[in-house]
Chain A
Amino acid sequence: MTDGPAPVLAAELIRWSWVGDHLDDIRGYLFQHVELTGLALLFGIVLAFPLALAAVRWPRLYGPILAFTGVLFTIPSLALFILLIPFTGLSIRTALIGLTIYTLLILVRNMVEGLRGVDRDVREAAQAMGFSATRQLFQVELPLALPVIMAGVRIATVTTIGLVTITALIGWGGLGRLFIDGFTLDFTTPIVVGIVLSAALAFAADLLLVAVQRQLTPWARSRRS
């Protein structure tokens, strides 16, 4: 090639024919990625909710819960996954347990912050109006806490999308499998495809959640954040 190095580099970075030949694989990896992320978030939310409620109801629990989850968070994800292998092997459980733990940590914090941030006045007004504790929770506190909780869900989602790629080192990985395929085959195409798609996925998920948040909290739209 008589052109300078840049076009040669670009030609080597992506072999489009490979992409065309492997669309099925790529699609499969993408679904795996979405599924791992979705399940981890689902379990994370389901588990974080009671923990957060407990921390709000019994404030003395908050310190220890925060400390415990904080410590878990410092364990590097690679280590956590490797440590689970002897117990749960290369099954999807290994990946999900690790991913769920990390979403849990982010979500508990934000749920507690959100619930705590509800003005005491509002809570007292609800009580004065005769709301039962459950009604108060679901019809007053949760809606008001929603913006902060949703912020946490956004962070957890994007973080998880990134972490799923690490599970490639334990037999899963979603789009992360493209990275280790490229590594093993000494080939940049799958790697580039993997990076672009996982970034796009995160971007799309974030936009989706922003839209959901706007839908769920229309009263917040007019206020300056």
Chain B
Amino acid sequence: MRRIRFAGAAVAVSLALLLAACGGGGNDALEGGGSQSGGSTVTVGSTNFTEQLILAQMYAAVLEKAGVKVDTRLNLGAREVVFPALVNGDIDLLPEYNGSVLSFLDKNATQTTSEEVNSALAPLLDAKGLVALDQSPAEDKDGWAVTKATADKYGLAKLSDLKGKAGQLVVGGPPELKTRPAGIPGLKKVYGIEDFKEFKALDAGGPLTTSALNKGDIDVGRVFTTQGSIARYGWVLLEDKPLEPAQNIVPIGRKDAMTDQVKQVLNGLAAKITTEELTKLNKQVDIDKDDPEKVATDWLKSQGLV
């Protein structure tokens, strides 16, 4: 009898301790943002590559400087998982690329210039309760890369050089590369490039594609044009008429979280982000292994924004 009471007490005490521990330190880690209307805390999210981490930290830093309460949920996964989280309120703000979001929301989109893309994007976002803020001049496009050795061996400098040789090459990229119009079907349609020897589903310019390309498990890899890895490993980006539409960096946020203050702060940042600056920052994280948060704040300081 006494034992059961003791057991009950033990359980109660343990639970109390547990809840106390969580209440103390866990709140930041647990805060998912939720649908916080009235602009209390803005939760900045990001997908899973280093440029995203840098951009998200930038947004967080300038917002905090302006007195907005900010929470970050970074490195959440690929866009398929993270964008829906934006729509349903688990996060409030996401650094995005206008062309990619457009084709994410409308598979058949054909717009190419920044203006066209942004106009087509606005109603689609509005329907989901989202709004795009000002775009930056910086663009991060999807590209195709080969190692220097492969480029020399097959004489590859432009995408059109792949014609006639694709059958001997293994290509790797995100799983949807196989089906997206700007992916492998695009190569076929625009350049007449035949089927590759093999397609390996890896990731979008991430660690898998990087490792596979360097080890020779794939010959052609899908990368991002601003990635630091390109310079780090001396890859060759195959140039030519881009298959992709414009890919300006643009913050996309939930309408009820994007107060006038938030908009003003982020729009003030937008014009300063150029492709060159972004590529430089990516290099610091990818090659020098600096911390994304530090890289972002140092740069903002140099620009007089924090």
Contacts and interface: CB of A to CB of B under 8 A. Distances in A.
Direct contact of A and B (CB under 8 A): yes
Contact of A171 (B77, B88, B207): B77
Nearest to A35: B22
A199 interface: no
B289 A216 contact: no
Contacts of B3: 143, 216, 218
Interface residues of chain A: helix, strand, loop or mixed (majority):
helix
Contacts of A185: 50, 53, 285, 289, 292
B32 A183 contact: no
Given A181-B75, A215-B10, 4 more contacts: A89-B90, A90-B73, A92-B32, A171-B77
Contacts of A28: 25-26, 28-29
B85 interface: yes
A27 interface: yes
A127 interface: no
A171 to B, nearest CB: 5
Contacts of A169: 77
Given A27-B25, A180-B48, A90 B30 contact: no
List 7 A-B pairs, minimum CB-CB distance, nearest first.
A31-B26, A32-B29, A28-B29, A35-B22, A90-B85, A31-B25, A90-B90
B90 A187 contact: no
Contact of B73 (A35, A171, A181, A183): A171
A79 B205 CA distance: 24
State which size class the interface on A falls in. 35 or more
Nearest to A216: B7
Contacts of B82: 90
B18 interface: yes
A171 B4 contact: no
Given A90-B85, A90-B90, A184-B206, A139 B22 contact: no
A113 to B, nearest CB: 19
Nearest to A185: B50
Interface string A28-57: 110110110010001000000000000000
Contact of A90 (B18, B32, B50): B32
Contacts of B190: none
Given A183-B207, A184-B53, A89 B85 contact: yes
Interface of B: 1, 3-4, 6-7, 10, 14-15, 18-19, 21-22, 24-26, 28-30, 32, 34, 48-50, 53, 73, 75-77, 81-82, 84-85, 88, 90-91, 206-207, 210, 285-286, 289, 291-292
A42 B18 CA distance: 11
B18 A142 contact: no
Given A35-B26, A171-B81, A184 B21 contact: no
Given A21-B291, A42-B15, A177-B75, A35 B10 contact: no
Contact of B22 (A31, A91, A215, A216): A31
Contacts, number: 102
Contact of A34 (B1, B6, B21, B34): B21
A97 interface: no
A186 interface: yes
A212 B7 CA distance: 9
Interface in A99-141: 138-139
A201 interface: no
Contacts of B21: 31, 34-35
A146 B291 CA distance: 49
A38 B18 CA distance: 7
Interface string A3-47: 000000000000000100100000111011011001000100000
A31 B77 CA distance: 21
A198 to B, nearest CB: 15
A31 B34 CA distance: 20
B29 A29 contact: yes
A204 interface: no
A197 interface: no
B261 to A, nearest CB: 26
B50 to A, nearest CB: 6
Contact of B10 (A90, A143, A183, A212): A212
Given A138-B4, A183-B207, A184-B206, A91 B75 contact: no
Contacts of B34: 91
A34 B22 contact: yes
A184 B50 contact: yes
Given A139-B4, A186-B207, A85 B84 contact: yes
26 contacts: A18-B291, A28-B28, A28-B29, A29-B29, A31-B24, A32-B30, A34-B26, A35-B22, A85-B81, A90-B73, A90-B90, A92-B32, A139-B1, A143-B3, A170-B81, A171-B32, A180-B48, A181-B75, A184-B48, A184-B50, A184-B206, A186-B207, A212-B10, A216-B3, A216-B6, A218-B3
